[in-house]
Amino acid sequence: MSEPAVPGPGFTVRDIVAEPYSAAPRLTARLRIEDGSGERIHAIVLRCQVRVEPRRRPYDQTEQDGLRGLFGGTERWSDTLRPFLWMQCDTTVQGFTGTTEVDLALPCTYDFDVVGSRYLHALGEDGTVPLTLLFSGTVFTQGTTRTGLGVRQVPWDREARYELPVAVWRQLMAFHYPHSGWIRLDHDVLARFAGFRERHGLISWDETVGVLLAGADAGGAAGDPDEVAR
């Protein structure tokens, strides 16, 4: 007769907060871990995939327009509005018996080339980001071998849901990029911008982009910055 499986740890997200003083943008998830085995846990090497589940919330017209570049028009959302991976992270959980709480660092970026950032930028201030955290890893316990160490895996089905307020993510971006943001450009495009700025004696990049946008709105020729600005 096979022995009953040892219950693995369960996970709950208590809160996710923005870190104002980290070197790079970072959220912190406060996790509650409950282990029903009754064993003394020496440590858990914990891995986590954070996935966005976009179908778990509605979207107003402004948000639908902002998400068109990611998911297409709403007539296609039955096919395109799929869960996607936002980030992967890990931590080491210190020893405990029964229940403990631990902080999990969630590194973020402003980069518009990252799907998660594009999605978050399109959401309204009052909404939430529907998250699912998928857990895996290795649990080290008091074993019966000569080493006195037991090893088991975090069960593959361990996960936790959380509704992250969009305001928390916007607060994080404001901590690190107050009243500003950035986009990544190809070297050739950046060189053209720099040349345009120098030729026209413009003071800042904001002024340079503003001149180009004003020229484009006035019907300037696409593809040539000098023609657009005229």
- Of 96-100, 163-167, 223-227, least confident by mean pLDDT is 223-227
pLDDT of residue 209: 82
Instruction: Report in angstroms the alpha-carbon separations of 25 from 104, 108, 168, 182.
Output: 14, 5, 12, 14
pLDDT of residue 190: 75
Domain of residue 39, residue span: 10-176
| Claim to verify: residue 26 and residue 128 sit in the same structural domain | yes
Please report the sign of the dihedral spanned by the C-alpha atoms of residue 77, residue 88, residue 117, residue 160: positive
- Determine whether 37 is exposed, middle or buried from the number of CB atoms within 10 Å of its CB (0-12, 13-18, 19+): middle
**Is the model's pLDDT at 85 over the cut of 50?**
yes
Higher pLDDT, 71 or 197: 71
Instruction: State the pLDDT confidence band at 61, using cuts at 50, 70 and 90.
Output: very high
pLDDT of residue 143: 65
In a domain, 21, yes or no: yes
108: Cβ contacts below 8 Å, ≥ 6 apart = 25, 26, 27, 87, 117, 169, 172, 173
Q: What are the beta bridge partners of residue 102?
A: 31
| Claim to verify: residue 122 and residue 214 sit in the same structural domain | no
| Claim to verify: residue 112 and residue 59 sit in the same structural domain | yes
| Claim to verify: residue 91 and residue 15 sit in the same structural domain | yes
In a domain, 20, yes or no: yes
Mind listing the pLDDT tens digit for each residue in 138-174?
Answer: 999 876 656 568 899 999 999 999 999 999 999 998 9
| Claim to verify: residue 196 and residue 162 sit in the same structural domain | no
Q: How far apart are CA 173 and CA 178, in angstroms?
A: 7
| Claim to verify: residue 93 and residue 17 sit in the same structural domain | yes
| Claim to verify: residue 207 and residue 131 sit in the same structural domain | no
| Claim to verify: residue 172 and residue 191 sit in the same structural domain | no
Q: Any idea what the CATH number is for the domain that residue 95 is in?
A: 2.60.40
Instruction: State the pLDDT confidence band at 225, using cuts at 50, 70 and 90.
Output: low
In a domain, 181, yes or no: no
Q: At 68, phi and psi to the nearest 5?
A: -60, -40
pTM: 0.79
In a domain, 215, yes or no: yes
Higher pLDDT, 28 or 112: 28
Q: Work out the percent of the chain whose per-residue pLDDT is above 90.
A: 57
| Claim to verify: residue 57 and residue 165 sit in the same structural domain | yes
Q: How far apart are CA 125 and CA 128, in angstroms?
A: 8
In a domain, 65, yes or no: yes
| Claim to verify: residue 140 and residue 207 sit in the same structural domain | no
- H or E element: which one contains 16? strand 10-18
In a domain, 114, yes or no: yes
In a domain, 120, yes or no: yes
In a domain, 99, yes or no: yes
Domain count, the chain: 2
| Claim to verify: residue 76 and residue 134 sit in the same structural domain | yes
